[in-house]
Amino acid sequence: MNIILFGPPGAGKGTQADILQKQHSLCKLSTGDMLRAAVTSGSPLGAQVKDIMAKGQLVPDSIMIDLIRGRIQQPDCHPGFILDGFPRTVAQAEALDAMLTSEKKKLDYVIELQVDDAELVRRIAGRFSCAKCGAGYHDQSKQPRQPGVCDACGSREFTRREDDKAETVSKRLEAYHRQTAPLLPYYRTQGILKSVDGMADIDAVTRQIDQVLRVRTKVAENS
């Protein structure tokens, strides 16, 4: 099963991708995480994209396509994958379609998480994560159980994303509306777009996504 989790920054794609990955044994391809890991490791790719990312701009398509193709070919992606943060432009979506066709794969669902801009700004402004294991937290809605200690790994170091600063967030939201939202009609025409209410709490969003995927499983069982 191959899925795109679609939506603006802060919509909860990463959170839901983590849950789906565990529930369905799919590989998670979160392009933002992959690029941040490259920056942290100091690799040549990281050096190429560091400044672009800090400004909230998009990394060139050729880099993104190579990154995704390389991962999709790995054995852990054979059962299926979840894309989070890719594609972000119609050109990337067309390149993805061409690549999947050449790999004899196809997309099953594009699941859109719908969230208001005001809520996105609130979510992004408060989010932080464990510097060691990446577990996500939020100033208002999800503090670690023991203050200053990561629930998942016990680390005491936390970090905030460079591009989560207010001035960069507005640029990223503007880029989403201008460049990424036009992908919705692209996937609606293909008949694979499903929209869920991303304003709901995490468990409720997961249940809505489950419902979408259950319909597909039933159709597959009956055919």
Interface with ligand AMP by CB under 6 A: which residues?
A: 9, 31-32, 35, 52-53, 56-59, 64, 85-88, 92, 163, 172
What gap in Å lies between CA 217 and CA 4, rounded to an integer? 17
Task: Using CB atoms within 10 Å of the CB of residue 105, give its burial: 0 to 12 exposed, 13 to 18 middle, 19+ buried.
Answer: middle
| 123 labelled catalytic | no
* Whether 119 contacts 97, CB under 8 Å: no
Indicate the pairing of strand 27-30 with strand 158-159.
Answer: unpaired
The one catalytic residue among 28, 88, 123, 194: 88
Least distance CB 186 / ligand AMP (angstroms): 15
| 145 labelled catalytic | no
What gap in Å lies between CA 125 and CA 143, rounded to an integer? 14
The residue nearest ligand AMP at its CB is 32
What gap in Å lies between CA 206 and CA 193, rounded to an integer? 17
| 218 labelled catalytic | no
Least distance CB 175 / ligand AMP (angstroms): 8
Q: Between 88 and 127, name the residue whose CB sits nearer to ligand AMP.
A: 88
| 188 labelled catalytic | no
| 172 labelled catalytic | yes
The one catalytic residue among 28, 36, 123, 127: 127
Q: Give me the active site residues, please.
A: 13, 88, 127, 161, 172
